[in-house]
């Protein structure tokens, strides 16, 4: 939800399901892993704060006319404050993180990058990539300079407060046992939009500042960033801080969330780079760039692989059901067979439960499955073809034609068909 300058709600709530979070082990983190997460998230906040101070100094002095090159100033780090904070992140990782936790923190390099990107991203979101040409001085254009300084100051406060409140929420959730899987982290992001939260109150001040700009402030030239030329009341301004906060939390704590939808609830390109980061194959979590991560039909490279010539499913008696289902399709589904053709994409509902014998369970198949739109390639002996699927009907049809076209000898993987007639696995 977003605030108007009067504090009333405008816009819409972002549902938790929007983020499409991955699910690691339901056992939660060990005490050692939880300690690692807490300390690494604290390091995230310190690096972000250090970069924020550099940004503030550069913008402030440019407004006073004493910093001639504010763009270069942002990353100059003359007193090495940012570098020291980054070095401490590596020290924390070495002391507190004997092994990588299932969720909650990335490695030191990624945490540092996420922190700096959030702080620097706030500057670029407002002013674009050339501060030298954009920032006005108080003596030359006091009205525009004042709006630029106040706008940046308020946005910067939302970012820093949000990162600290997010990591405090994660710390408390781990301690109380309310955060046990990666999906639970979304509650801490949702907290940042609560008007009663510290971040929510900072957000109100930021929006009030933006909406106080009168017609004399040309947002196209004064703020040529993400919202260049937008009216101060436009939703774009509301999305800016939540875009940067979501990307920082996503990249530093490794939940598979879509920040493009989180910032304002709409797939409108308001949060460039909002797609989740490429996943780490082998961690048991299906992330961006992966069709699967473990399971009977998952290749070592985390691509979907279904051998249509194998008896992955049995069909006693023919028909849609009841059949026998076996296996573990990566989106939480199983393969099944109708009339001798191998299909994939329907959840096997076993009867009785649990299975009386490992691997084969009598039951029926739930055909109401939907999936993220994924490109699949059917690989034959000398040729291939590809198509996309996002639901049961599309995926089962693709598997059927793969079996027909290859005489039952082909396989499906997550990827595309290359010019040489070979499937190219998705990266």
Provide the mean pLDDT of the chain. 74
Spatial CA neighbour of 314 closest among 344, 342, 349, 347: 342
105 sits in which H/E element: none
Same domain flag for 234 and 164: yes
Residue scoring higher pLDDT (351 or 218)? 218
- Residue 406 CA, distance from chain mean position: 37
Can you give the pLDDT at residue 321?
Answer: 32
pLDDT tops 50 at residue 38:
yes
Same domain flag for 139 and 199: yes
DSSP letter, residue 25: -
Q: Among residues of the chain, what percentage have pLDDT more than 90?
A: 42
Phi-psi region of 335 (alpha: psi -120 to 50; beta: other; left: phi over 0): beta
Same domain flag for 225 and 371: no
- Concatenated DSSP letters for 351-411? SSSS-SBTTBEEEEEE---EEEEEEEEEE-SS-EEEEEEEEHHHHHHHHHHHHHHTTT--E
Residue 396 belongs to some domain of the structure: yes
Same domain flag for 246 and 320: no
- Domains identified in the chain, total number: 2
As a whole number of angstroms, the distance between CA 110 and CA 97 comes to 14
- 382: confidence class by pLDDT, cuts 50, 70, 90: low
Same domain flag for 316 and 237: no
Can you give the pLDDT at residue 425?
Answer: 67
Residue 291 belongs to some domain of the structure: no
Q: What is the mean pLDDT of residues 397-410?
A: 70
Residue scoring higher pLDDT (17 or 160)? 160
pLDDT tops 50 at residue 272:
yes
Residue scoring higher pLDDT (317 or 342)? 342
Q: Which among 262, 289, 318 is the end of a domain?
A: 262
Q: Which among 242, 262, 282 is the end of a domain?
A: 262
Contacts of 289 (CB under 8 A, 6+ apart): 278, 279, 302, 426, 427
- Please check whether residue 370 is in contact with residue 411, taking contact to mean a CB–CB distance below 8 angstroms: no
Residue 324 belongs to some domain of the structure: yes
Q: What is the mean pLDDT of residues 242-259?
A: 87
Same domain flag for 233 and 328: no
Residue 296 belongs to some domain of the structure: no
Can you give the pLDDT at residue 75?
Answer: 92
Tens digits of residue pLDDT in 128-171: 999 999 999 999 999 999 999 999 999 999 999 999 999 999 99
Can you give the pLDDT at residue 274?
Answer: 42
Tens digits of residue pLDDT in 183-212: 889 899 999 999 999 999 999 999 999 989
The model's pTM:
0.61
pLDDT tops 70 at residue 48:
yes
Q: What is the mean pLDDT of residues 37-55?
A: 96
Same domain flag for 236 and 311: no
pLDDT tops 70 at residue 8:
no
pLDDT tops 80 at residue 241:
yes
Q: What is the mean pLDDT of residues 2-12?
A: 27
Can you give the pLDDT at residue 357?
Answer: 42
Can you give the pLDDT at residue 323?
Answer: 36
Can you give the pLDDT at residue 13?
Answer: 25
Is residue 372 classed as helix, strand or coil in its secondary structure? strand
Residue 279 belongs to some domain of the structure: no
Same domain flag for 137 and 193: yes
Residue with tokens 């996503």: 250
Same domain flag for 218 and 140: yes
Indicate if the alpha-carbon torsion angle 33, 39, 42, 44 is positive or negative. negative
Which tokens is 73 given? 């100033």
- Of the ranges 39-43, 238-242, 400-404, which one carries the lowest mean pLDDT score? 400-404
Residue 417 belongs to some domain of the structure: yes
335 sits in which H/E element: strand 333-338
Residue 183 belongs to some domain of the structure: yes
- Of the ranges 39-43, 251-255, 329-333, 351-355, which one carries the lowest mean pLDDT score? 329-333
Q: Which among 262, 295, 317 is the end of a domain?
A: 262
- 307: confidence class by pLDDT, cuts 50, 70, 90: very low
Same domain flag for 92 and 157: yes
Which tokens is 38 given? 């807490």
Phi-psi region of 231 (alpha: psi -120 to 50; beta: other; left: phi over 0): beta
Residue 288 belongs to some domain of the structure: no
As a whole number of angstroms, the distance between CA 75 and CA 51 comes to 8
- Please check whether residue 29 is in contact with residue 37, taking contact to mean a CB–CB distance below 8 angstroms: yes
Q: Among residues of the chain, what percentage have pLDDT more than 70?
A: 64
Same domain flag for 239 and 382: no
- Of the ranges 4-18, 63-77, 365-379, which one carries the lowest mean pLDDT score? 4-18
- Please check whether residue 113 is in contact with residue 86, taking contact to mean a CB–CB distance below 8 angstroms: no
Q: Which domain holds residue 16?
A: 2-262
């Amino acid at each position: 939800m977003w605030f108007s300058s009067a504090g009333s709600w405008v816009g819409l709530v972002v549902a938790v399901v929007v983020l499409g979070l991955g699910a690691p082990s339901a056992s939660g983190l060990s005490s050692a892993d939880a300690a690692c997460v807490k300390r690494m998230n604290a390091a995230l906040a310190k690096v972000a704060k250090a970069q924020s101070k550099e940004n503030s100094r550069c913008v402030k002095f440019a407004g006073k006319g004493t910093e001639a090159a504010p763009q270069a100033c942002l990353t100059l780090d003359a007193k090495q404050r940012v570098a020291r904070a980054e070095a401490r992140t590596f020290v924390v990782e070495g002391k507190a993180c004997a092994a990588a936790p299932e969720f909650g923190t990335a490695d030191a390099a990624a945490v540092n990058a996420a922190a700096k990107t959030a702080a620097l991203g706030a500057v670029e979101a407002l002013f674009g990539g050339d501060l030298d040409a954009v920032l006005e001085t108080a003596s030359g254009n006091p009205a525009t300079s004042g709006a630029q300084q106040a706008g940046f100051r308020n946005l910067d406060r939302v970012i820093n407060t949000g990162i600290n409140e997010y990591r405090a929420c994660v710390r408390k959730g781990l301690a109380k046992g309310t955060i046990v899987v990666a999906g639970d982290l979304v509650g801490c992001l949702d907290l940042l939009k609560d008007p009663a939260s510290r971040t929510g109150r900072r957000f109100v001040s930021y929006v009030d500042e933006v909406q106080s700009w009168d017609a004399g402030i040309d947002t196209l030239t004064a703020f040529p960033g993400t919202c260049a030329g937008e009216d101060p009341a436009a939703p774009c301004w509301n999305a800016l801080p939540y875009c940067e906060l979501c990307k920082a939390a996503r990249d530093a704590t490794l939940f598979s969330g879509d920040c493009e939808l989180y910032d304002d609830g709409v797939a409108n390109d308001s949060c460039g780079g909002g797609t989740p980061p490429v996943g780490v194959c082998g961690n048991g979590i299906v992330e961006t760039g992966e069709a699967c991560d473990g399971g009977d039909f998952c290749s070592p490279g985390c691509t979907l692989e279904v051998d249509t010539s194998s008896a992955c499913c049995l069909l006693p008696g023919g028909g849609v059901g009841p059949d026998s289902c076996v296996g573990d399709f990566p989106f939480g589904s199983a393969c099944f067979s109708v009339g001798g053709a191998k299909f994939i994409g329907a959840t096997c509902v076993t009867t009785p439960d649990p299975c009386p014998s490992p691997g084969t369970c009598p039951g029926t198949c739930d055909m109401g499955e939907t999936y993220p739109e994924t490109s699949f390639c059917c690989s034959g002996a000398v040729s291939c073809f590809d198509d996309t699927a996002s639901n049961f009907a599309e995926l089962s049809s693709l598997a059927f034609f793969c079996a027909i076209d290859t005489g039952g000898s082909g396989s499906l993987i997550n990827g595309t068909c290359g010019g040489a007639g070979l499937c190219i696995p998705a990266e």
